[in-house]
Amino acid sequence: MTDLAIAAQDVGRVYPSDSGDVHALRDVSFAVERGRFVALRGRSGSGKTTLLNCVGGLDKPSSGRIWIQGMDIATLDEAERTRWRRENIGFVFQQMGLLPSFSAYENLDLMARLGGLPRSERRDRILESLEMVDLLDYYDHRPYEMSGGQQQRIAIARGLVAEPDLILADEPTSELDSETTHKIMAVLNNFVSKKGTSILLSSHDPIVDEYVDRVITLVDGQIADGS
Ligand code: ADP
Ligand code: MG
């Protein structure tokens, strides 16, 4: 069993375009140990989303390799990868929106089931997760009955609910004011220390730096420091 949650070696991702290839990532190498909370910082267009997509197996690097808990998920076929991802990774990604006809509770319940959480633990875990983001009172609200910031906190709770070994979060505090950002970052920091989860989270907000073990800075698709 490796003690690395993530290992990336010389990862490149090129998007072909008419005006020349876009090198979204170039020779990105870094490792995240288990139980660590790491922030990926960089301005818009620096490659944060591309890197998180590659780490989570939603996109494939054009070159290089990535191991999650010792497993190179590029070696799995599509069905195996989807299953592995559900059971091992919690995602807090904008493009994975909440289901609009489901209440907050039901949105978390769906993820708890997909993540393989035993039935006997689901209810407690869902309520605990809603409590963590301070939205227990909203358990029966649907997404459209909540503000953008509240929806984002529900999406964070959904990423934690199945207690995955690794959580990947793409700008999870973008809709939150700074006071709420502090609160949520403290919750995530506490979650990492209590459960031994690893979190890789992208942001361009300097507030996050206070709560993480390490900051990796991306500039134009390359690691500037922190690897
Ligand atoms: P960030 O998340 O840090 O804002 P992205 O990973 O979204 O950065 O983008 C990195 C670079 O890759 C940018 O130059 C962006 O325009 C380009 N890019 C991202 N996705 C695509 C795509 N699907 N097709 C072409 N170019 C893309
Ligand atoms: Mg992005």
Amino acid identity at 58: L
pLDDT tens string 56-80: 999 999 999 999 999 998 889 999 9
pLDDT of residue 227: 54
DSSP one-letter string for 127-158: HHHHHHTT-GGGTT--GGGS-HHHHHHHHHHH
pLDDT of residue 119: 93
- Give pTM, 2 decimals: 0.95
What's the total number of domains in the chain? 1
How big is the chain, counted in residues? Answer: 227
Q: The domain that contains 83 carries what CATH number?
A: 3.40.50.300
Which atom of ligand 1 approaches the CA of 51 most closely? 6
Ligand sitting nearest the alpha carbon of 28:
1
| DSSP 3-state of 112 | helix
| DSSP structure class, residue 71 | B
| Cβ < 6 A, ligand 1 pocket | 15, 22, 24, 42, 44-50
Task: Give the residue numbers spanning the domain of 66.
Answer: 4-16+24-223
Ligand 2 midpoint to CA 1 (Å) = 31
